[in-house]
Structure 1
């Protein structure tokens, strides 16, 4: 359970850290451009995002959702659910081609290669990774995350030890940086909602792959908190060097190049990996939704969608982040409210179901572990608990049986 929680947390970070964040372009626009109040906004955003990650992964696990509409249908009206569904489909596709554009801009800034080359490279990687199942995708996303943490932390330490000025001295410089957001508070809320709108679909799928809502919630909270810490490090790092990096297409890459050109080259590769993390999350979730009724069409569909994203990406990375992301954020505020309200309403049932699934798991361990006695009364109790669950009884029986069987086999190998 602990391993799954940590794997999920790393995947949440990898999913949330996309082209806009990794490049620093989002951070400049949403926080640094508002000076010292923008730093306060970054703290607020970090806290709120952590809580929303807990909520959405726990809901995904509770409903065992294989795509986002399963949760939307459960927490709101059919009309609103359909509207949210259409918006999320648009958001997933839009974010996908923003990531593709970001990949092109990243390699172009660092190596001078044509923008289309980096964009095409990412498109092909997405197609290849999209051939994997959801658990493998979660692991692919999560495995790159520790590298992200190391490099952003290193860039932060350098920036804090080599600041271009104090907080107050740099405030006038930061305030001159243009933003499409009106003030720091709206910007902070918009950022959380935008990030949530981008991640909610794949986060629901990742939560739905976990049988224990408690572990899913912990994974979401840990992942959200880790992302929040990275957000704060990046915001302060770019703020302390705002006069050097504010107008670069990739401010974070610009900052790391100041440390050393070789570090900049490595950071470019790290940013590309971060962009890939979000891109595969977006396209996997989008394709899962599009082929929900015809899952056998998943592979050809992800190929078509990725190639379509490549075609649209030529609008340009900077323009997409500046104008498209805030629009997504404003609508995303509504999504956050709907999801949070649905979670609060379902919270008592979720708590009850967590306890029920724990008892089911314990009974299954006794049933399958030949070294322990298992009575007919316990069998009746097991069937009663499964019947009381909110999940399909037959599917729950198979899922718990498979997980417990795997656990017992692992325990046996270790002994």
Structure 2
């Protein structure tokens, strides 16, 4: 498996698996509140994560996007583009301060610190990490994901090992939880639309950071599979213990404490890291969108966004999820429709572009290899392929050259 695909996958998971999912609060409100039928919704949600994870990251790679506007201007009408762009800007900002609120709630529940302290620490980290280069940032986004997966599976194993549960009783208890959705069908669509709103801006940027479309496709697909597994495991574990976690702000942390206080502290730190992952991704992508290509302005916008987000985080984590998430989810359905239409429309062009870039990489590798002949015909073919590419000719040539120079030993 290509290392870059894994890196993209883990970074994508880090964007999606934020405060709500790693804490269990999203799953509690959106799915388990419907009882046993909520688990069917969880399966459908996993499938949607796989399909759209592939679509979103691939489109970002195909258009070599530096921010979500690079893709949206290509796949939607001017009016729809403006609506989605405004919605993404708004949702990035809103979910960003919900994440910061989650950081405060996380440390308050386990450590007893005032919520404003945890939120402040998260805010400061977002600003500090933004001064790293993008490769280092991508590494930061994915570093805690494997740790989270191991911890969640550990909690699940200890929850179910040698134990049995009365699922009818659990079903009745789960249905006592208040839900903002009318039925499980709406919950699946609304929640995934929310996930797309959360992850699409950074996923486009992640896709645009790689030149090979095949790598982007694998990265998005693997990321979707990992998210599906995490969601399914979290949901099943929470459902089994619904009687003791239904009123908690951070339900998974309650289960971690039942295993061991020491383990719970490690889980608290991991949740905090993933909250940071999502908050950073959203604020960074939003700052890049507002600043254009200016790195200096990106830093200025990021600092301003973080300060405003910190102030708004005082509204409270659970309350923000129950009010803001359903609204953003309904708006996000427009985005899902646009993405599906774009994918169907560009599918053949994406396949052709994959061949073009693969061939250009091979040709330029031939040029840089002293043991291989690079003829005038090879040069003409390279230039012709650059002209056929969906990306600006000069840009794709430079991108291919930089890729080969940086990864001279990487297989095609």
**TM-score normalised over the length of structure 1:** 0.97
Q: Please name the residue that 1:290 is paired with.
A: 290
Structure 1 segments of 4+ aligned residues over 3 angstroms from their partners: none
Superposed CA deviations along residues 129-178 of structure 1, whole A, max 9, x for unmatched, are: 11223322111101111111111111111222265723233111111111
Unaligned runs of 5+ in 2: none
Pair 1:53-2:86 in alignment: no
Whole-Å separation in 2 of the counterparts to 1:222 and 1:298: 30
Q: Please name the residue that 1:68 is paired with.
A: 68
Q: Please name the residue that 1:189 is paired with.
A: 189
Find the residue that maps to 1:408 and give its secondary structure.
coil
1:12-411 map, 5 Å: 12-161=12-161, 165-292=165-292, 294-408=294-408
- Cα drift, residue 36 of structure 1: 1.0
Whole-Å separation in 2 of the counterparts to 1:244 and 1:296: 49
Residues 194 and 325 of structure 1 are in contact (CA less than 8 Å); yes or no, is this contact kept in structure 2? yes
Residues 164 and 240 of structure 1 are in contact (CA less than 8 Å); yes or no, is this contact kept in structure 2? no
Whole-Å separation in 1 of the counterparts to 2:239 and 2:353: 45
Residues 163 and 240 of structure 1 are in contact (CA less than 8 Å); yes or no, is this contact kept in structure 2? no
- Cα drift, residue 368 of structure 1: 1.0
- The aligned length equals 411
Whole-Å separation in 1 of the counterparts to 2:254 and 2:300: 38
Q: CA RMSD in A?
A: 1.4
Unaligned runs of 5+ in 1: none
- Cα drift, residue 295 of structure 1: 3.7
Q: CA distance change for structure 1 residues 407 and 134 in 2, over 3 Å: closer, same or farther?
A: closer
Residues 369 and 408 of structure 1 are in contact (CA less than 8 Å); yes or no, is this contact kept in structure 2? no
Whole-Å separation in 1 of the counterparts to 2:202 and 2:409: 30
- Cα drift, residue 49 of structure 1: 1.2
Whole-Å separation in 2 of the counterparts to 1:91 and 1:133: 25
Superposed CA deviations along residues 191-212 of structure 1, whole A, max 9, x for unmatched, are: 1111111100000011011111
Find the residue that maps to 2:408 and give its secondary structure.
helix
Residues 163 and 241 of structure 1 are in contact (CA less than 8 Å); yes or no, is this contact kept in structure 2? no
Whole-Å separation in 2 of the counterparts to 1:341 and 1:295: 33
**TM-score normalised over the length of structure 2:** 0.97
Superposed CA deviations along residues 240-295 of structure 1, whole A, max 9, x for unmatched, are: 00000011011000111111111111111111011011011111101010101544
Residues 84 and 334 of structure 2 are in contact (CA less than 8 Å); yes or no, is this contact kept in structure 1? no
**Farther off after superposition, 74-83 or 388-397:** 388-397
Q: CA distance change for structure 1 residues 388 and 102 in 2, over 3 Å: closer, same or farther?
A: same
